Amino acid sequence: MDKESSTFGIPHDKLAQLWDLHSDREKGPEESDQDLLKLELLNDMLARKMPLDQVLAQALSGVLAQLCKDIRPFTGDSFGHLLIDPETDLSTIKQIKNYYKGLSKHIQSKTEHDVIAVLYYATIASALVFHRERITSFSDEHLRKAFLKYVNYSWLTQALKSLFLKASEYCSKS
């Protein structure tokens, strides 16, 4: 006996995408709007670059070739790229962490708080995953719980989710 397909020939992966879209629609309008705002703010902050120090800018002309590797944060790489790149040196990650820590003192909304917290923890995750270095006094258990919480945020980039998963695994092993 032939059963009629109830999927009307739509491939299973396409159906899964449609279900994912539908699950997003089940959120209240305020929650979806907040997620969209967080996503936009996250992308904006990930696109930022390290502010250039005036003293460094003056020194660049004479020693540019020697400093290329050391000044990588100033050469155009975004925070987003630096945080997920294993080649980013630990001092740069610490500078980015301090940048977000400074921003946290000027938070004006819950949206900003959530995004800055994620990025602050992303610096900690980056240091753990790529350098096996702790740049915080938070316990492994606290970090593991935070990283796993962030993985479930719908507005996070896949790269950050992957970083948080690796960092949570690192904390579980410690």
pTM listed for this prediction: 0.69
pLDDT, residue 14, reads 54
11 burial level (CB within 10 Å; 0-12, 13-18, 19+): exposed
- Residues 27-76: pLDDT tens digits? 555 668 889 999 998 888 888 876 655 444 455 454 544 444 454 445 56
Q: Is the pLDDT of residue 149 over 60?
A: yes
> pLDDT for 15-28, tens place per residue?
455 444 444 444 55
Q: Is-contact 149 156, C-beta < 8 A?
A: no
CA 26, distance to chain mean position in Å, is: 25
Length of the chain: 174
Average pLDDT, the chain: 78
Question: Please, are residues 147 and 168 in contact by the beta-carbon 8 Å criterion?
Answer: yes
- The number of CA neighbours under 13 Å toward the Cβ of 2 is 2
Please state the domain extents for the chain: 12-173
| 134-151 residues labelled b (16+ CB within 10 A) or e (exposed) | ebeeeeeeebbebbeebb
